[in-house]
Amino acid sequence: MAEQPIYSEQIERSLINKGLNQLPTISTDLDSVRSYQWEVQIFPPIIAGLPTASFKEGFHLGAKQVQGLGYSLKDIEVHRVNDKVFYPGKVEQEEVTVTFDNLLKYPLTSDLFKYLNNAYNMQTGFYQDADAIKGSMVILEYDGAGTVKNQIELKGVYPRSYMKADKNYAQSEFDTIEVKFRYDFMNVVSAVEGLLGND
């Protein structure tokens, strides 16, 4: 006789013989992190002319959307007579796009431009050394009680593009700045495994 599928208990939803405070398994075991329960922390290198604490706080509070958290492996295709097999090849990181609200309290428009300008200075035409460009980024995922459940850490982060939102009298929205970042390494850790440090 075939074994009962493992998931059968997880989809059980009968209310028969349940107490007043007991819910079906499906209503409690499938709760998830919401897409809006997160915060981003950006740790740029020391940049001349920027107040470090205010700079980081503005990044932290202004970030309203993060896209592109992921990477993939390219395929190495090997042919032998009639067969074709695959091996994992080089890693290909996605661009991470962070959209910031242009906050009144923090000069994010100029701060983000200075951050990008630290990689390539448009006034001088010079590039900085890697240790003066690359920093790190941490995305924290929360549960409903504000407890960190997962942490996504990116290392070797630097900004590669800066785009201001359109100016439009017909809109009723906050002004935004979209910055695309590149990174070298990613790590994802759950609270059960022990969260990463920010050093």
- Predicted structure pTM score: 0.80
**What is the per-residue pLDDT across 15-66, written as a single tens digit (0 to 9) for each?**
666 666 666 666 666 778 889 999 999 888 877 666 666 677 888 889 999 9
CB atoms within 10 A of CB 120: 14
Cα end-to-end span (Å), the chain: 55
33-72+81-190: CATH class:
mainly beta
**What is the per-residue pLDDT across 1-12, written as a single tens digit (0 to 9) for each?**
556 555 555 555
**What is the per-residue pLDDT across 147-191, written as a single tens digit (0 to 9) for each?**
999 999 999 999 999 999 999 999 899 999 999 999 999 999 988
Domain boundaries defined on the chain:
33-72+81-190
Spell out a b/e string for 158-192, using b for 16 or more CB atoms within 10 Å of the CB, else e: bbeeeeebeeeeeeeeebbbbbbbbbeebeeeeee
Total number of residues shown for the chain: 199
Residue 48 main-chain phi, psi, to 5 deg: -60, 135
Dist. CA 40–CA 198, nearest whole Å: 12
pLDDT value of position 199: 45
pLDDT value of position 195: 74
Q: In the structure, what pLDDT confidence band is assigned to residue 120 with cuts at 50, 70 and 90?
A: confident
For residue 68, pLDDT over 50 is answered with yes
Residue 101 main-chain phi, psi, to 5 deg: -75, 140
